[in-house]
Every structure is written in structure tokens, then in C-alpha cells.
A and B are shown apart, each in its own frame.
Chain A
């Protein structure tokens, strides 16, 4: 039996995108595909964690918006309608964005719009809901604080960003007691109410639908300036923390370091190098530490791009007895990346793997909207992905080694081990 011939991917086809600007300057981007009888609308506010001055304000504001409106102070009435029409709502915050995604069956589209408008632009921020959400948040956090992997990550983030930075702050349960209605009101007014949010529509929708959106969401005044961010990753001295927990049967390891971001000319090379090193199932780290040594269920090195600074993190959970050798093996694999050239077989593998992964990012109309949101955050456009795939197909073993020499250094990592 012969291995089938492998075909190379050299281009990605994007679905056509239509952009319109609403009367108040809000940008609406849409991707149309009538194969599904449904659509997704994402409302994306610059109201993520990075903007908060007090712990959990961003998350709690995002959550409380769904807990009742001036028209329907009891959120149950709104929830009844959402459920009856089979509308799913996902709400979450990221570093930069606060995102509300509405998944709507096409047949209930007209019913959905006024409800969405009411939820997002007429919320009532009351004490009862705040107490309720605080209790939930607190109980979730208490649970997380018992998990070695969570603790390790939080310690590492504190080292990376500094504890006064919203991303580096080490959360404690009592933070929830400090939150007031006023904090949330202020945050809502600054980052939602008149902020410059974006709308992404994807899926199946009638032609007149975008006009309807303009009528509903294009009317209220919008502050067209983007909120300023003065927060950046600082050059900090490298820190180390080892915390032993006798009860744990495994140790959580988390290393993190600042690195170059998507707008840097060397970024694609760095991203490809890191994939070889630790960002897919067949990576050097996985092959050695999981497949060969069987110390762990998984070990990854991943890059997290953010507008305020990008970082690279190596993370795993290993059996306690294997910790020392795991660290030795990570250092050895970093060293190999810097001293040896990858062979043609591995090069071809990584090229095809990454090209295939890129294709899957564009699988389906809903995913297009998510990709565009990322590009908007990074101030990039779809040509980024054209350049990316070109770079994947043209990279050489020398460039990969060069990138490791320049950007992958054991000494740059803050290192945490817990458990």
C-alpha cells in the first residue's frame, strides 16, 4: 500500500465581504451564505479586561447587561423570548473586546432585533443583579484558585505584566465585594453606551436586513475616537516561582515571555518556528515529552497576540517525579531549535500542516466574522493571510533556525511551577 500523493495548498479563498458604515459611523461587516437557515450577529465593544481599573469590572459589566432592561427589569421576560425563538446568546470578554454573539434562526430574525437592541442599549444595572453575579463569580474563582494550572498561569501573568496591570493582577475572592453599581455604570457609559463598537453579520439574511440594522443601531450618537491605551508590556526582570503542594499528584508548569507581535516583519517566521517547537500535536515538545517520555498528557508553546503586547507561553502538567527532567527536555528542545536545521521532511510537514490549519480557520461563514474581528483588533486586513500562506510555503530551515536564535531564549522566560 502506497501513501497517497499530497497536494499543496497555495491559496485561500475568502467569502466576499461587504462593509457599510452606519449613520453614526459604526462599522458593519457582513458575510453572506444562504446554505444555512440562520445567521450570527456579533456586537463587539472595546470593553475588554485591558480597560478596567478595578478587578472584574469588565467581566461583571459584560454579564450584567443581560440581567434586565429598563423596559423589563426582570430579565426572565427577555430570556423567555430568547428561548422561545431559539436564539442563543454568547457573551464573553477578551483582553480588548467585549463580545455579544447572537445565533438566530432565520425565521425569527425580525423578532430578534428589538430584543437585542433592548439588551445592549437599555440595560438596568441594579444591586440585586450585581450581588447575584458577584456570588457566582466568587464561587467560580474559589474553585479556580484550587487548580494548579490556573494558579501557575496567574502567577506567570503577574510576573509578565506586573501586578498593577489589568492583565497581571492576581485575583482574589474578596475583589467581588469591592465592586459597586457605580463602577459598572461608569464602565458601561465609557466603553459601551457611546463607544465605537463594531457589528459583524454572517450567514443567511435578507437584503433589506442591513438597512434595518442601520435604523436600529445607527441612530444613537457614538464617540468616534478609539479608547487610548497607555498600558504596555514592561521590561521586567525575570522571575521564578516554585510552590510545592503536597496534595497534588502533578505539577503545573507555566513559562511566559514577551515576544514580537503580528505587525512585526519577523512575526510569520517566529510563528512558524514556534509551531515546529511546540504549537501542534507533532511538535518537538509533544514528540519528546508526551510521545517519547510519556511524562504528560500534553505540552504546548503558544503565542498570544494582543494590541498591548504579545507573549509566548510554554505550559504543561506533568507527574511530580518527571518535573526536573521535563525542564531539562524543554531547554534541550529550545537548544536544538537554535543549533540544528530542520530536515526537509519536517519542513514539508509543517508547511502543509499550517496551510491546512489556515484553511480550517476559514471553514464556514461564521468563522469568517471571527477572523475579521481579530484582524480589526490588530489593525490588519485579509492580505495578512495571503502574506502568511506565502511565507509558510517559502520559508527555509535556515530562517527557522535564525528565528529561534533571535527570539526563543530560555533566559527570557518567567518560570512558574505549582504542585
Chain B
């Protein structure tokens, strides 16, 4: 049971505090409700570019990293299709420095021409390093493009093209900050060796006078229902063929979400999973095969990715994989299988919840999802997902007509 206290400021900022006296550290996690899905299709990659710009200094802290490092802290951030997330880990006695820094860059970010130019360039290098220079680096973009036709999940967080990043103007970026980096669009969670009342006082002190925004939530188009199989043939200079099959999921708060998570585990979590036993270790058709759910807030994807053994053609491997997926229908999930994947999911949730950084992130994330109490009910949700519910989801959602298949051929 994770204990926490929730507090909301009059400007709409939400704060969650969790005391953990066993660590000398504290972690501050800030979620801004701005991910790539809120972007203009003509200016993709902005949320991620902005994550970089948030480190270019603010009025009272010219260099964000240096001030934090001087307090013994470390930080990082990530952007995904739903959110932009920032966190600082530092000795608990210096937690005030993290609060000061985050508040100052929410209210008084310095955006200079020089820093915009430099960060655009860094992001373009990141684009090259991770997405162009890496074998299979363009897979995520190809999968999204195929799986989504209307919902903005159709582009990766890095953006559709380098030019979107290169062409962004200072005025657009200022407007972006003004719209999305507002107290009422943020959730802060602080965990570690802290005193709850002291944290509430500090957050009131640094954030209390920041005015709320007038946030107009962008209207996000719903994804159209897929009822026909989609196939993309892609050729690239990579060492091995690869295949990816993706299918649509319910949204994060849907009761069937857990069933789909467990289905992906039945397929490939651990060496006793079906695909591993059957196609990797058994028939040795694949050297690598994984299934996972992407966990996004709106309707996300369940994906299966594999590299065929060099003795098999991509087509043979695909056929074998499709056959194994058909077995989910023909050879129903047993009570034992169901209990096994639930046990493992619960254990995994417990272990991942131990570090203070994960506690802080999870608290902020469940608050964003709209039900922070769910953080203590995850295990329950897994346990009460029975085999009937799993089988129902298999027949409704794991069908070839709903698959998007990426055949990634080695040239």
C-alpha cells in the first residue's frame, strides 16, 4: 500500500506527496499534459523539441542543470505521444532546489535565439542518431503510419520530418510554452525522505502566484475502426529481416486493458510463454520474438515483433506466427496460464514500484489518468481478470482482419 497526500493549489496545480524515510534521497516528478498527440500535423516533434528547450535556462537559474547538479541532483526527461515528463533526484535535504527550478522554468523560461538554434540542431542530431543511423530506427514511424489513419498517434514523438523541427519559429515556440506549460496543465509528485507539510508549503511558495492558463484542449480525432488487414513491405540496409504485427487496444482506463496486457504476457513474457516455447525454443523459426502493449492513454497498440531465424524466409516466419496467433482461439487460455501471467504481472508491478523515481512517476501518472487510487489497485485488476474475459478479448481483438503487418526486408 502506497500512502500519499494530495493537494491542489488555487491555480489548478496538483501535488502528490509520498514520504519514504528509508532513503536519503527525494524525487520530484512533473508531468505536463502535453505529448505528441496534441501537436499540429504540420509541426510535429514540437513537444519533444520543447522538452529540450526546458533545459536552456530560466530567469533565476541561467543553467538548469548546473543549479541542480550543485545541489547534488540529477535529472532527466522524456516525451511520448501523451505526455512530457521531467524528474529530478537529489539529496532529500536539497528538495527545495528542485521545486525552485521547476517553478522558475514554468513561469520564467528564457527562450533565446541561440538556445533555440542549438536545441533544434541537437534534436536533429538525435533524429539522425536514433532514427536514421540505427538499423530498424524507422520502424516505429512505419508502424504508426500504418496503424493510425486519423488519430495523432500516427506520428512518432521525434516528428514526421526534420523540416518540422528546423522550421519552427520562435513565436510558435513561445506560444507553445504559454499554452501548455501552465500550472493547471501540470501534476507534480514528490517522493522520498521529505515532510509532507513542508513540501506543500514549498510548492505553495514557488508556484502559488503563477497564473492559471486558459487551456483549450485540442480536439483529438478518434481513430477509425480497422476491419481490413494492412500490409507494408519495407526494404532497408539492415542485417536481418524483421516482422511486426500490431493491433489496436482499448484505452488505458478501459477494464479490458488488463486482459490485453495479460494476453501479451501469455504470448511472450518469459521463457514459459506460448510464442517463446513454440516458435523460438521449439521450432526455432524465430531467434527473437516479443509481444507487448504500448500502454498509451488513448487506444494504443499490442505489438508483436520478431527476427526470423536465417534458415526461414520472412513469409514462412510470418505464416508460423499467424498460426500461433490463431492457436489463441483454438487452444483456449487455461486457469493455470491465467494465474501464472497475473502472478508475474503483480510481481513485476511490485518490483518496478520500489525505486523512488518510479513511485513519484506512478503517482503523478495515475493522477493524470483521473484516478490516483488505482495505484493501489493494480494487483486487484490483474487478479480479477479471468480466463473468460481474456478469451472474449482474443475473439474480439486478435483477428487477422485487424492486423497491421510490417514486413521489414533486409536488402
Q: How many residues of A contact B (CB 8 A)?
A: 72
Q: Tell me, yes or no, whether B371 is within 8 Å of chain A by CB.
A: no
Contact A281 B69, beta carbon cutoff 8 Å:
yes
Name the one of B24, B272, B347 contacting A86, with C-beta atoms under 8 angstroms. B347
Contact B66 A282, beta carbon cutoff 8 Å:
yes
Q: Tell me, yes or no, whether B290 is within 8 Å of chain A by CB.
A: no
Give the CA-CA distance A294 to B130 in the complex, in Å. Answer: 16
Quote the shortest CB–CB distance from A105 to chain B (angstroms).
Answer: 5
A317-B129, A364-B354 given; 10 more Cβ-contact pairs under 8 Å: A38-B347, A82-B272, A83-B340, A103-B347, A140-B287, A142-B240, A281-B65, A294-B125, A348-B70, A355-B91
Quote the shortest CB–CB distance from B28 to chain A (angstroms).
Answer: 13
Name the one of B61, B93, B340 contacting A84, with C-beta atoms under 8 angstroms. B340
Q: Tell me, yes or no, whether B22 is within 8 Å of chain A by CB.
A: yes
Given A79-B272, A282-B66 in contact, is the A135-B72 Cβ separation under 8 Å?
no
Quote the shortest CB–CB distance from B140 to chain A (angstroms).
Answer: 17
Nearest 3 A/B pairs, CB to CB: A356-B72, A86-B347, A294-B121
Name the one of A82, A103, A248 contacting B351, with C-beta atoms under 8 angstroms. A103
Q: Tell me, yes or no, whether B50 is within 8 Å of chain A by CB.
A: no
Q: Which residue of A lies closest to B96 (CB)?
A: A4
Name the one of A105, A349, A363 contacting B347, with C-beta atoms under 8 angstroms. A105
Name the one of A13, A145, A353, A357 contacting B24, with C-beta atoms under 8 angstroms. A13
Chain A residues, CB < 8 A from B237? 247
Give the CA-CA distance A417 to B332 in the complex, in Å. Answer: 54
Given A79-B272, A88-B351, A317-B133 in contact, is the A136-B287 Cβ separation under 8 Å?
yes
Give the CA-CA distance A290 to B238 in the complex, in Å. Answer: 29
Quote the shortest CB–CB distance from A333 to chain B (angstroms).
Answer: 17
Chain B, interface size category, equals 35 or more
Give the CA-CA distance A282 to B119 in the complex, in Å. Answer: 15
Chain A residues, CB < 8 A from B310? 135, 139
Quote the shortest CB–CB distance from A418 to chain B (angstroms).
Answer: 11
Q: Tell me, yes or no, whether B322 is within 8 Å of chain A by CB.
A: no
Chain B positions 182-227 with a Cβ under 8 Å from a chain A Cβ = 206
Q: Which residue of B lies closest to A362 (CB)?
A: B24
Give the CA-CA distance A37 to B349 in the complex, in Å. Answer: 12
Contact A363 B355, beta carbon cutoff 8 Å:
yes
Contact B24 A88, beta carbon cutoff 8 Å:
no
Q: Tell me, yes or no, whether B346 is within 8 Å of chain A by CB.
A: yes
Report A278-305 CB contacts with B as 1/0, cut-off 8 Å. Answer: 0011100000001111111100000000
Contact B271 A76, beta carbon cutoff 8 Å:
yes
Q: Tell me, yes or no, whether B94 is within 8 Å of chain A by CB.
A: yes
Quote the shortest CB–CB distance from A87 to chain B (angstroms).
Answer: 7
Contact B70 A80, beta carbon cutoff 8 Å:
no
Q: Which residue of B lies closest to A356 (CB)?
A: B72
Contact A364 B355, beta carbon cutoff 8 Å:
yes
Give the CA-CA distance A145 to B73 in the complex, in Å. Answer: 36
Name the one of B91, B121, B271 contacting A79, with C-beta atoms under 8 angstroms. B271
Report B300-329 CB contacts with A as 1/0, cut-off 8 Å. Answer: 000000010110000000000000000000
Contact B97 A145, beta carbon cutoff 8 Å:
no
Give the CA-CA distance A79 to B346 in the complex, in Å. Answer: 17
**Residues of chain A at the chain B interface (Cβ within 8 Å):** 1-4, 6-7, 9, 12-13, 33, 35-38, 66, 75-76, 79-80, 82-88, 103, 105, 132, 135-136, 139-140, 142-143, 145-148, 247-250, 280-282, 290-297, 317-319, 348-350, 352-353, 355-357, 359-360, 362-364, 366, 419
Name the one of B117, B129, B344, B348 contacting A250, with C-beta atoms under 8 angstroms. B129
Quote the shortest CB–CB distance from A362 to chain B (angstroms).
Answer: 7
Contact A132 B126, beta carbon cutoff 8 Å:
no
Q: Tell me, yes or no, whether B78 is within 8 Å of chain A by CB.
A: no
Contact A359 B61, beta carbon cutoff 8 Å:
no
Q: Which residue of A lies closest to B22 (CB)?
A: A35
Chain A residues, CB < 8 A from B355? 363-364
Between A and B, 15 residue pairs with Cβ closer than 8 Å are A1-B59, A75-B281, A80-B340, A83-B340, A83-B341, A85-B343, A145-B239, A247-B237, A282-B65, A282-B66, A292-B118, A294-B119, A349-B70, A363-B23, A364-B23
Contact A360 B93, beta carbon cutoff 8 Å:
no
Give the CA-CA distance A294 to B309 in the complex, in Å. Answer: 40
Give the CA-CA distance A363 to B26 in the complex, in Å. Answer: 10
Q: Tell me, yes or no, whether B350 is within 8 Å of chain A by CB.
A: yes
Report B105-123 CB contacts with A as 1/0, cut-off 8 Å. Answer: 0000000000001110110
Chain A residues, CB < 8 A from B168? none
